[in-house]
Chains A and B, each alone.
Chain A
Amino acid sequence: QKEVEQNSGPLSVPEGAIASLNCTYSDRGSQSFFWYRQYSGKSPELIMSIYSNGDKEDGRFTAQLNKASQYVSLLIRDSQPSDSATYLCAVNIPQGGSEKLVFGKGTKLTVNP
Protein backbone atom coordinates (compact mmCIF):
# COMPACT_ATOMS: atom_id res chain seq x y z
CA GLN A 1 0.00 0.00 0.00
CA LYS A 2 1.37 3.38 -0.98
CA GLU A 3 1.94 5.74 1.93
CA VAL A 4 0.09 8.75 0.50
CA GLU A 5 -2.46 8.38 -2.26
CA GLN A 6 -4.24 11.00 -4.31
CA ASN A 7 -6.54 10.86 -7.29
CA SER A 8 -4.24 11.96 -10.12
CA GLY A 9 -7.11 13.63 -11.97
CA PRO A 10 -7.18 15.70 -13.96
CA LEU A 11 -9.93 17.53 -12.11
CA SER A 12 -11.70 20.18 -14.11
CA VAL A 13 -14.10 22.70 -12.54
CA PRO A 14 -15.71 25.89 -13.85
CA GLU A 15 -14.67 29.26 -12.47
CA GLY A 16 -16.51 30.05 -9.25
CA ALA A 17 -17.17 26.41 -8.35
CA ILE A 18 -15.81 24.46 -5.38
CA ALA A 19 -12.87 22.19 -6.12
CA SER A 20 -12.49 19.19 -3.82
CA LEU A 21 -9.16 17.39 -3.58
CA ASN A 22 -8.72 14.20 -1.59
CA CYS A 23 -5.85 12.30 -0.02
CA THR A 24 -5.50 9.13 2.04
CA TYR A 25 -2.48 8.00 4.02
CA SER A 26 -1.37 4.71 5.52
CA ASP A 27 0.66 5.56 8.67
CA ARG A 28 -1.57 5.99 11.73
CA GLY A 29 1.33 7.64 13.53
CA SER A 30 1.29 10.65 11.23
CA GLN A 31 0.47 13.90 13.01
CA SER A 32 1.11 16.65 10.47
CA PHE A 33 -0.55 17.12 7.12
CA PHE A 34 0.11 19.62 4.38
CA TRP A 35 -1.15 20.75 1.03
CA TYR A 36 1.26 22.14 -1.51
CA ARG A 37 0.47 23.84 -4.80
CA GLN A 38 2.81 23.34 -7.74
CA TYR A 39 2.47 25.37 -10.89
CA SER A 40 3.87 23.84 -14.04
CA GLY A 41 7.66 24.16 -14.13
CA LYS A 42 7.79 25.60 -10.62
CA SER A 43 8.63 24.20 -7.20
CA PRO A 44 5.96 23.28 -4.64
CA GLU A 45 4.56 26.04 -2.45
CA LEU A 46 3.02 25.36 0.97
CA ILE A 47 -0.58 26.57 1.13
CA MET A 48 -2.16 24.76 4.10
CA SER A 49 -1.17 22.76 7.15
CA ILE A 50 -3.47 20.85 9.50
CA TYR A 51 -2.77 18.88 12.64
CA SER A 52 -6.13 18.25 14.38
CA ASN A 53 -9.29 16.54 13.29
CA GLY A 54 -11.82 18.85 11.74
CA ASP A 55 -11.65 21.82 9.42
CA LYS A 56 -9.13 24.60 9.06
CA GLU A 57 -10.01 27.59 6.92
CA ASP A 58 -7.67 30.12 5.31
CA GLY A 59 -9.33 32.45 2.85
CA ARG A 60 -10.81 30.42 0.01
CA PHE A 61 -9.03 27.26 1.19
CA THR A 62 -10.33 24.75 3.74
CA ALA A 63 -8.37 21.72 4.83
CA GLN A 64 -10.21 18.83 6.44
CA LEU A 65 -8.66 16.05 8.48
CA ASN A 66 -10.14 12.77 9.69
CA LYS A 67 -7.46 10.72 11.43
CA ALA A 68 -9.79 7.79 12.11
CA SER A 69 -10.39 7.43 8.38
CA GLN A 70 -6.81 8.47 7.52
CA TYR A 71 -8.18 11.05 5.16
CA VAL A 72 -7.24 14.62 4.32
CA SER A 73 -8.99 16.90 1.89
CA LEU A 74 -8.64 20.40 0.48
CA LEU A 75 -11.59 22.47 -0.63
CA ILE A 76 -11.10 25.53 -2.81
CA ARG A 77 -14.11 27.82 -2.86
CA ASP A 78 -14.83 30.29 -5.66
CA SER A 79 -12.20 28.62 -7.83
CA GLN A 80 -10.20 30.94 -10.08
CA PRO A 81 -8.24 30.16 -13.25
CA SER A 82 -5.12 31.10 -11.25
CA ASP A 83 -5.82 28.08 -9.02
CA SER A 84 -5.03 25.79 -11.96
CA ALA A 85 -2.05 23.76 -10.75
CA THR A 86 -1.09 20.40 -9.33
CA TYR A 87 -1.96 19.99 -5.66
CA LEU A 88 0.29 17.78 -3.59
CA CYS A 89 -0.77 16.17 -0.32
CA ALA A 90 2.11 15.65 2.12
CA VAL A 91 2.12 13.67 5.35
CA ASN A 92 4.73 13.63 8.08
CA ILE A 93 6.11 10.13 8.57
CA PRO A 94 8.01 9.83 11.85
CA GLN A 95 10.51 7.00 11.63
CA GLY A 96 13.16 6.37 14.27
CA GLY A 97 13.67 10.02 15.12
CA SER A 98 13.71 11.13 11.51
CA GLU A 99 10.93 13.37 10.29
CA LYS A 100 10.25 13.70 6.64
CA LEU A 101 7.28 14.46 4.48
CA VAL A 102 5.98 11.83 2.11
CA PHE A 103 4.17 13.29 -0.85
CA GLY A 104 1.35 11.98 -2.96
CA LYS A 105 1.74 12.15 -6.71
CA GLY A 106 -0.58 15.11 -6.88
CA THR A 107 -3.92 16.00 -8.40
CA LYS A 108 -3.92 18.27 -11.43
CA LEU A 109 -6.65 20.89 -11.19
CA THR A 110 -7.87 22.96 -14.11
CA VAL A 111 -10.27 25.86 -13.49
CA ASN A 112 -12.04 26.84 -16.68
CA PRO A 113 -13.02 30.50 -17.20
Chain B
Amino acid sequence: GAGVSQSPSNKVTEKGKDVELRCDPISGHTALYWYRQSLGQGLEFLIYFQGNSAPDKSGLPSDRFSAERTGGSVSTLTIQRTQQEDSAVYLCASSSRERANYGYTFGSGTRLTVV
Protein backbone atom coordinates (compact mmCIF):
# COMPACT_ATOMS: atom_id res chain seq x y z
CA GLY B 1 0.00 0.00 0.00
CA ALA B 2 0.87 3.66 -0.07
CA GLY B 3 1.71 3.84 3.61
CA VAL B 4 2.06 1.74 6.74
CA SER B 5 -1.37 0.64 7.87
CA GLN B 6 -2.16 -0.29 11.46
CA SER B 7 -5.32 -1.68 12.97
CA PRO B 8 -7.21 -1.13 15.10
CA SER B 9 -6.56 2.57 15.61
CA ASN B 10 -7.92 2.35 19.14
CA LYS B 11 -8.37 -0.61 21.45
CA VAL B 12 -9.80 -0.66 24.95
CA THR B 13 -9.43 -3.95 26.75
CA GLU B 14 -9.93 -5.31 30.22
CA LYS B 15 -6.94 -6.23 32.33
CA GLY B 16 -6.03 -9.85 31.81
CA LYS B 17 -7.37 -10.10 28.26
CA ASP B 18 -5.22 -10.83 25.21
CA VAL B 19 -4.96 -8.34 22.34
CA GLU B 20 -3.65 -8.50 18.79
CA LEU B 21 -2.36 -5.48 16.93
CA ARG B 22 -1.86 -5.60 13.18
CA CYS B 23 0.63 -3.86 10.91
CA ASP B 24 0.66 -3.87 7.10
CA PRO B 25 3.95 -2.32 5.92
CA ILE B 26 4.67 -0.44 2.73
CA SER B 27 4.78 -2.84 -0.18
CA GLY B 28 8.34 -4.00 -0.86
CA HIS B 29 9.75 -2.83 2.46
CA THR B 30 11.78 -5.66 3.92
CA ALA B 31 12.31 -4.28 7.42
CA LEU B 32 9.48 -3.93 9.94
CA TYR B 33 9.71 -2.50 13.44
CA TRP B 34 7.42 -2.26 16.44
CA TYR B 35 7.80 0.53 19.00
CA ARG B 36 5.61 1.76 21.77
CA GLN B 37 5.19 5.24 23.16
CA SER B 38 3.76 5.84 26.60
CA LEU B 39 2.23 9.19 27.49
CA GLY B 40 4.93 11.85 27.51
CA GLN B 41 7.67 9.31 26.84
CA GLY B 42 9.96 8.56 23.95
CA LEU B 43 9.72 5.66 21.58
CA GLU B 44 10.64 2.30 23.09
CA PHE B 45 11.93 -0.34 20.67
CA LEU B 46 10.11 -3.68 20.89
CA ILE B 47 11.01 -5.93 17.96
CA TYR B 48 12.57 -5.83 14.46
CA PHE B 49 12.00 -8.10 11.47
CA GLN B 50 14.35 -8.08 8.46
CA GLY B 51 13.52 -10.34 5.55
CA ASN B 52 13.92 -14.00 6.44
CA SER B 53 16.39 -13.35 9.25
CA ALA B 54 15.61 -14.19 12.84
CA PRO B 55 13.84 -11.22 14.44
CA ASP B 56 15.54 -9.01 17.00
CA LYS B 57 13.29 -9.45 20.03
CA SER B 58 15.59 -7.69 22.46
CA GLY B 59 13.10 -4.94 23.25
CA LEU B 60 10.12 -7.06 24.22
CA PRO B 61 9.43 -6.15 27.87
CA SER B 62 8.14 -9.55 29.00
CA ASP B 63 7.18 -12.98 27.74
CA ARG B 64 3.59 -11.74 27.52
CA PHE B 65 4.63 -9.95 24.36
CA SER B 66 5.19 -11.75 21.07
CA ALA B 67 5.14 -10.86 17.40
CA GLU B 68 5.18 -12.62 14.11
CA ARG B 69 5.50 -11.61 10.50
CA THR B 70 3.83 -13.80 7.93
CA GLY B 71 5.07 -14.07 4.37
CA GLY B 72 7.50 -11.21 4.89
CA SER B 73 4.66 -8.72 4.95
CA VAL B 74 1.92 -8.32 7.57
CA SER B 75 2.94 -8.44 11.22
CA THR B 76 0.90 -9.10 14.35
CA LEU B 77 1.93 -8.02 17.84
CA THR B 78 0.22 -10.03 20.55
CA ILE B 79 0.02 -9.04 24.19
CA GLN B 80 -1.23 -11.74 26.51
CA ARG B 81 -2.83 -11.13 29.91
CA THR B 82 -2.72 -7.37 29.45
CA GLN B 83 -1.75 -5.15 32.37
CA GLN B 84 -2.47 -1.47 32.93
CA GLU B 85 1.18 -0.61 32.30
CA ASP B 86 0.76 -1.94 28.77
CA SER B 87 -1.38 1.09 27.96
CA ALA B 88 0.45 3.05 25.26
CA VAL B 89 0.48 3.87 21.59
CA TYR B 90 1.97 0.99 19.63
CA LEU B 91 3.70 2.16 16.47
CA CYS B 92 4.75 0.07 13.53
CA ALA B 93 7.30 1.26 10.99
CA SER B 94 8.83 -0.14 7.85
CA SER B 95 11.88 0.67 5.76
CA SER B 96 13.68 -0.47 2.67
CA ARG B 97 17.30 -1.21 3.39
CA GLU B 98 18.01 -0.79 -0.30
CA ARG B 99 17.60 2.95 0.13
CA ALA B 100 20.90 4.60 1.01
CA ASN B 101 19.30 7.14 3.32
CA TYR B 102 16.91 4.78 4.96
CA GLY B 103 14.64 5.97 7.66
CA TYR B 104 11.46 4.58 8.99
CA THR B 105 7.97 5.37 7.81
CA PHE B 106 5.60 5.04 10.72
CA GLY B 107 1.99 3.98 10.70
CA SER B 108 -0.59 6.00 12.56
CA GLY B 109 -0.41 3.69 15.56
CA THR B 110 -2.76 1.72 17.77
CA ARG B 111 -3.74 3.40 21.02
CA LEU B 112 -4.16 0.62 23.59
CA THR B 113 -5.95 1.32 26.84
CA VAL B 114 -6.09 -1.38 29.49
CA VAL B 115 -8.81 -0.80 32.08
Kindly name the residue among B33, B97, B103, B107 whose own CB sees the greatest number of chain A CB atoms within 10 A: B103
- CB atoms of B42 and A46 under 8 A apart: no
Of A12-20, A67-75, A76-84, A103-111, the one with at least 4 CB within 8 A of chain B: A103-111
Within 8 A of A (CB), among B32-50: 33, 35, 41-43, 45, 48, 50
Interface size class of A (residues with CB under 8 A): 20 to 34
- CB atoms of B56 and A46 under 8 A apart: no
A61 to B101, CA, bound (A): 17
- CB atoms of A49 and B43 under 8 A apart: no
Query: Is B105's beta carbon under 8 Å from chain A?
Result: yes
| B103 CB, nearest partner CB in chain A, Å | 4
Query: Is A88's beta carbon under 8 Å from chain B?
Result: yes
- CB atoms of A100 and B45 under 8 A apart: yes
- CB atoms of B48 and A98 under 8 A apart: yes
Task: Determine the residue in chain B with the shortest Cβ distance to A6.
Answer: B42
| B14 CB, nearest partner CB in chain A, Å | 24
| B43 CB, nearest partner CB in chain A, Å | 4
Across-interface contacts of B102 in A (CB, < 8 A): 32
Q: Is the interface of A mostly helix, strand, loop or mixed?
A: strand
Across-interface contacts of B53 in A (CB, < 8 A): 97
Across-interface contacts of A100 in B (CB, < 8 A): 33, 45, 48, 56, 59
A97 to B53, CA, bound (A): 10
Kindly name the residue among A46, A105, A106 whose own CB sees the greatest number of chain B CB atoms within 10 A: A46
Q: List 22 A-B contacts (CB under 8 A).
A: A32-B102, A42-B108, A43-B106, A43-B108, A44-B106, A46-B103, A49-B101, A49-B103, A51-B101, A95-B56, A95-B58, A97-B53, A98-B50, A98-B56, A99-B31, A99-B48, A100-B33, A100-B59, A103-B43, A105-B41, A105-B42, A106-B42
Which A-B residue pairs are the 3 nearest by beta carbons?
A105-B42, A98-B56, A103-B43
B residues at A contact (CB < 8 Å): 31, 33, 35, 41-43, 45, 48, 50, 53, 56, 58-59, 91, 97, 101-109
